[in-house]
Amino acid sequence: MSTPLLSICIPTFNREVYLKDCLESLKSSWIPDVEIVVSDNASTDGTITILEDYAHQLPLRWQQQPANLGADRNFVAVVSMAHGRYCWLLGSDDCITDGALAQIMARLRQHDPDIFHFGYVQADLALRALSQSAPPTSATPIAMSSIEVPKYLSALPNVSLMFAFISSFIFRRESWLAQQDLLPDWLDSHYVHTFMLHSMLAAGARVLSSDECLVIARGGNPNELNSSVGKMLCLDATTLQRIHREIYGDAPHLEALGRVFRRSYTNRSLVSIAAHGGMPRLLACSSALATLGHSQLLIQLLRWADWLGLMPILARLIHMRRHFLNVLTLKGGFRK
């Protein structure tokens, strides 16, 4: 079997409607030298029917797991199915933008990076665009080093682009295989891909980045990570703390990780999480928050407010502020 340049690796579970949107976006801009592999995590809906239908329209292979492996193990399983020189872990509820596949293939052929990192459009459940985020563009691949990694990470706008959002990067399959002995330590963390990509950076990967948004991230899809207030924050904080301890271990990298984390989770967002029932989560990850540079005084003040029963008042004040800002925006009296 010939080796394609790119394997689009789609892990999925019970997302038949969204998977159809994803495959349709690939079909509409298809070019040669690409394969699609799907690992179905024991779905109970019509996922297999969708795959059977698109197998007649796209170079598509799939494997149905006999039982749900969990997200991390399904990510590993779908990468293991790939034959391509490069792998793109593409979320089954995400879609690619028009012309993205041609742009990606041209960049991979021209620059031969170890990692290609690009932006995304954040959308709602119906794929209506809400915002966009992207890394700064590099004209040529940057060889990562103990100096370049902190510099690169510091410039990223949010935690999602620190390789937490699976659909915003493509990696050389050999680079993944070179780090696979480390996989057992990171499975079932919900972020095995993030650990693996940071391990590649620490090993000196050559990173090509683009501020073009080549994928649409569907938001508002319920999952176990957004099932309770503060759960995602706690996961992100503890994961970045582990990445610092287990991969980097020095002050410049920690400063970079902390800077981007605080960009995503500001003091105001911590107050809002606490006010809306997430105080137990904040306390559970208070050590990680401190490691990443958040004030322990703020956490202590929120603890006291919770103990004094002030959280409903705080939540009401936050709601009033949002309402006031919305009114000003509608009247044209406020600019972000």
pLDDT for residue 292: 97
Give 123 or 309, the one with higher predicted confidence: 123
pLDDT digits (tens, 9 = 90+) for 164-187: 999 999 999 999 999 999 999 999
Look up the pTM and report it: 0.91
pLDDT for residue 330: 52
Res. 152: pLDDT tops 70: yes
What average pLDDT does the segment 36-59 reach?
96
Question: Among 184, 277, 294, 180, which residue's Cα sits nearest to residue 236?
Answer: 294
Distance CA 104, CA 168 (A): 11
Name the maximum alpha-carbon separation found in the chain.
Answer: 67
Average pLDDT of the chain, as a whole number: 92
CA angle, residues 317, 318, 323, in degrees to nearest 5 = 95
Distance CA 263, CA 153 (A): 12
Task: Identify whether the C-beta of residue 26 lies closer than 8 Å to the C-beta of residue 36.
Answer: yes
Task: Identify whether the C-beta of residue 237 lies closer than 8 Å to the C-beta of residue 281.
Answer: no
The sign of the torsion formed by the CA atoms of 167, 169, 171, 176 equals negative
pLDDT for residue 224: 67
pLDDT digits (tens, 9 = 90+) for 77-87: 999 999 999 99
Task: Identify whether the C-beta of residue 278 lies closer than 8 Å to the C-beta of residue 286.
Answer: no
Task: Identify whether the C-beta of residue 135 lies closer than 8 Å to the C-beta of residue 210.
Answer: yes
What average pLDDT does the segment 301-330 reach?
72
What would the CATH number be for the domain defined by 6-221?
3.90.550.10
Distance CA 217, CA 209 (A): 18
Of the pLDDT bands very low, low, confident and very high (cuts 50, 70, 90), residue 335 is very low
CATH 3.90.550.10 region(s) of the chain?
6-221
pLDDT for residue 334: 35
Task: Identify whether the C-beta of residue 6 lies closer than 8 Å to the C-beta of residue 31.
Answer: no
Give 306 or 59, the one with higher predicted confidence: 59
pLDDT for residue 336: 32
CB neighbours of residue 140 within 10 Å: 10
